[in-house]
Amino acid sequence: MGNEDDTEVLEDGSFTRPYFLTQGRTRSDAGELAVEAMVAVSAGSTMPADHDLAAIYSLCKTPNSIAEISAKCSMPLGVARVLVADLWGAGTLEVLETTRSDDIAIVRRLLDGIRNR
Amino acid sequence: MASGTDNSTARPVSAKVVISGGFGVGKTTFVSAVSEIAPLRTEAKMTSAASGVDDATFVQQKTSTTVAMDFGKITVDQGLVLYVFGTPGQDRFGFMWNDITAGALGALILVDTRRLDECFNAIDFFEQRGVPFIIGLNQFDGAPAHDVNDIREALDLASSVPIVRTDARNADEALDTLVQLLSHILTTLSAKAAEEMAAAPQAAAVAAGPEQRPAPVVTNDMRSAAMSALAAERGVS
Ligand SMILES: Nc1nc2c(ncn2[C@@H]2O[C@H](COP(=O)(O)OP(=O)(O)OP(=O)(O)O)[C@@H](O)[C@H]2O)c(=O)[nH]1
Ligand SMILES: [Mg+2]
């Protein structure tokens, strides 16, 4: 796999990390945040005032998936998705990439890791 | 990876596999066996609860069925997390199946050999979506020990689909089954990559990921709908 640059310029002139462009997936095929997508607080962000948003924020001081947020904050999946997307849009949270389902290197790493338990 | 601020320790990537099969076949038990955390359960709104469609007579001590999805987690290394999602026992073709399966590396379809036909739907589902899968024969007490070839024939499975015996209650066996699933996924992906390389070396080399996707737009309507759904949920419970 040939890697060219550290960064690439998008059409609108903004930069993005190459990882984001070439490997990651944040959404399910349904166009929604993938259930396994991990979410973490953005550097320099502050705790939202709203109780439920604050609960998500506190949890995501360590990365948690959308499914975990839903389960641990006792909110239906669809609700967790919208709230996370909202916080993501506001720059409060970041959504980390999920791996691609055809990423051979990842599957090898999973195999080695789980075999050696 | 080249220089940069990327810190894989603090920013793990995640992957997902699915545990599927018919009603009461040991999906939740399997997820618990392999997960490093107590399995979590999340729910999505069901338009109507399925009832009377599943046959519970073979599974004793089983009074209710899962209508939400449960999932577990394996931290493979500091930068990589594997989520293990069980499909709901009922509402087989509900939206949660698509949600759980989208982007999955592969699936384990658990089978109770006393009720082979229970897994037909799952097999069709993953076959149609081109998701690699293996069959896990969960050895229930008193279940006849069928020959694997007979089972392959009964399930109309290609010879490339592994059929393994497992016990969802046993962590070592379940982890071993997970390893077999990952091996099968690796074999499948390697074969596919080799095929693509042979067909179009250039195209395969630049086969890129999805286009960049910005954060979804959340409208005020969506925001308030989510909040009132949550308020309703809290009010009821
Ligand atoms: N003998 C035996 N019993 C098992 C095995 N796996 C699960 N069971 C039992 O089978 C019953 C059903 O297991 P569950 O894990 O709840 O099955 P499930 O597929 O999650 O069920 P639903 O979500 O309701 O469809 C439980 O009583 C388990 O203890 C197995 O490998 N061998
Ligand atoms: Mg279950």
Task: Give the pLDDT mean for A78-83.
Answer: 86
- Which is higher by pLDDT, A63 or B219? A63
Q: Does residue B226 carry a pLDDT above 70?
A: yes
B76/A19 touch (CB, cutoff 8 Å), yes or no = no
Whether the predicted pLDDT of B230 surpasses 50: yes
Q: Tens digit of pLDDT for each residue in A33-43?
A: 899 999 999 99
Mean pLDDT score, B115-126: 91
Q: Where are the domains of chain A?
A: 26-115
Task: Report yes or no: A36 and A30 within 8 Å, Cβ to Cβ.
Answer: no
Give the per-residue SS3 of chain B. CCCCCCCCCCCCEEEEEEEEECCCCCHHHHHHHHCCCCCEEECCCCCCCCCCCCCCCCCCCCCCCCCCEEEEEEEEECCEEEEEEECCCCCCCCHHHHHHHCCCCEEEEEEEHHHHHHHHHHHHHHHHCCCCEEEEEECCCCCCCCCHHHHHHHHCCCCCCCEEEECCCCHHHHHHHHHHHHHHHHHHHHHHHHHHHHHCHHHHHHCCCCCCCCCCCCCHHHHHHHHHHHHHHHHHC
Dist. CA B24 → ligand 1 center (Å): 5
Q: Which is more confidently placed, B38 or B42?
A: B38
**Predicted pLDDT at A8:** 39
Across the range B13-33, mean pLDDT stands at 94
Q: What pLDDT score does B62 carry?
A: 45
Q: What is the pLDDT of residue A1?
A: 39
Average pLDDT over residues B208-216: 55
Q: Is the pLDDT of residue A96 over 60?
A: yes
The reported pLDDT for the residue numbered B234 is 78
Burial of A62-80, coded b for 16+ CB within 10 Å and e otherwise, reads: ebbbbbbbbbebbbbbbbb
Per-residue burial over B26-50, b = 16 or more CB atoms within 10 Å of its CB, e = otherwise = bbbbbbbbbbeeebbbbbbeeeeeb
| Residue B39 near ligand 1, beta carbon < 6 Å | no
Q: Is the confidence at residue B6, as pLDDT, over 60?
A: no
Report the CATH architecture of A26-115. Orthogonal Bundle (1.10)
CB-based contact B99 A1, cutoff 8 Å:
no
What is the pLDDT at residue A40?
96
Q: What is the ipTM of this complex?
A: 0.78
> What domains sit in chain B, N to C, each tagged with a CATH number?
11-192 (3.40.50.300)
Q: How many other β-carbons are positioned within 10 Å of the β-carbon of residue B136?
A: 30
Query: How many interface pairs between A and B have CB atoms less than 8 angstroms apart?
Result: 197
Of B105, B178, B210, the CB nearest to A114: B178
Confidence of residue A11 (pLDDT cuts 50, 70, 90): very low
pLDDT value for A76: 81
Query: What pLDDT is recorded for position B204?
Result: 52
Please state the pTM of the whole predicted model.
Answer: 0.81
**Per-residue pLDDT reduced to its tens digit, B157-209:** 999 999 999 999 999 999 999 999 999 999 999 999 998 888 876 655 555 54
| B22 ligand 1 Cβ < 6 A | no
Q: pLDDT tens digits, residue range B46-72?
A: 433 333 334 444 444 444 444 577 899
Pocket test for ligand 1, best of B29, B70, B92, B119 (most atoms within 8 A of CB): B29
pLDDT computed for residue A31 by the predictor:
56
